[in-house]
């Protein structure tokens, strides 16, 4: 995931550098907009489990999902070739981001997230009368559902930062196509008091363990929208 993040950051920098010289056309992209998107999202979970004896086990898991999302926002022109967009993106539904299947079925943990929201600012550069490139910077959040064999507390939400790069092509009717790639780095999540005494060895004085993880996602999406 770190390599992917560095690659996306490099592409963002190269794209914005290559966008000059600019052609006036920000007015074609200004105003309120709405779009629907088809998104392919890969999730990665780097974490560790600490048992009752203090022994630490580290691991990495991942999954890929295809989801849909809806954006609404408003783009404000600041010059002939530069504008700022403000928007909200909502991805409904539920996605499984981790599943730990204990052989004894006494320490099974499943982590799912649902109702993803991203609130973002979108600096945009017009490179022609009907084409533009943009950088999206946002704050993302989602509800977290942790189920399984644990008796303690767990995280109830995801929160993190989203960065992406995209292109947009506008038509005279107000309809536009957009392609975008990016990533989200979420804050750590945790689950306490996992499992029972029967799942640990005879020297375990606690009988349960704790887990924490650092989730992140990378995504690519294609969107169809309308600018009013």
Mean pLDDT, each 10-residue run in order, the chain (228 residues): 52 48 68 96 80 72 84 95 96 78 62 92 92 96 89 91 96 95 93 66 57 89 96
Instruction: Give me the pLDDT at residue 224, please.
Output: 97
User: Considering the entire predicted model, what is its pTM?
Assistant: 0.79
Instruction: Give me the pLDDT at residue 193, please.
Output: 87
Instruction: Give me the pLDDT at residue 141, please.
Output: 95
Burial level of 98, CB count in 10 A (0-12/13-18/19+)? buried
2-47+63-99+106-142+157-188+216-227: CATH class? mainly beta
Per-residue pLDDT tens over the stretch 119-161: 999 999 999 889 999 999 999 999 998 888 888 899 999 999 9
Q: How far apart are CA 228 and CA 226, in angstroms?
A: 6
Per-residue pLDDT tens over the stretch 186-198: 999 999 988 754 4
Q: How far apart are CA 132 and CA 124, in angstroms?
A: 7
Please report where in the chains the tokens 């086990």 appear, as a residue.
57
Instruction: Give me the pLDDT at residue 129, please.
Output: 82
Other Cβ atoms less than 10 A from the Cβ of 3: the count is 7
Instruction: Give me the pLDDT at residue 54, please.
Output: 73
Terminal Cα-to-Cα distance of the chain (whole angstroms):
37
């Amino acid at each position: 995931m770190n390599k992917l993040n560095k690659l996306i950051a490099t592409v963002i920098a190269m794209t914005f550098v290559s966008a000059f010289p600019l052609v006036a056309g920000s007015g074609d992209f200004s105003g309120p907009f709405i779009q629907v998107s088809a998104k392919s999202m890969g999730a990665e979970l780097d974490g560790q489990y600490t048992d009752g004896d203090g022994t630490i086990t580290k691991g990495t898991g991942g999954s890929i999902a295809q989801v849909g999302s809806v954006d609404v926002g408003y783009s404000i022109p600041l010059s002939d070739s530069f504008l700022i967009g403000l928007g909200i993106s909502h991805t409904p539904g539920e996605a499984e981001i981790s599943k730990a299947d204990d052989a004894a079925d006494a320490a099974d943990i499943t982590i799912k997230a649902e109702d993803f929201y991203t609130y973002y600012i979108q600096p945009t550069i017009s490179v022609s009368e009907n084409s533009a490139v943009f950088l999206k910077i946002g704050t993302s959040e989602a509800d977290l559902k942790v189920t399984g064999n644990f008796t303690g507390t767990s995280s109830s939400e995801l929160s993190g930062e989203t960065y992406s790069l995209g292109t947009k092509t506008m038509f005279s009717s107000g309809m536009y196509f957009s392609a975008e790639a990016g990533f989200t780095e979420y804050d750590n999540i945790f689950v306490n008091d996992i499992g029972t005494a029967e799942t640990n060895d005879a020297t375990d004085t606690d009988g349960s363990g704790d887990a924490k993880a650092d989730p992140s996602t990378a995504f690519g999406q294609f969107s169809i929208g309308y600018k009013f």
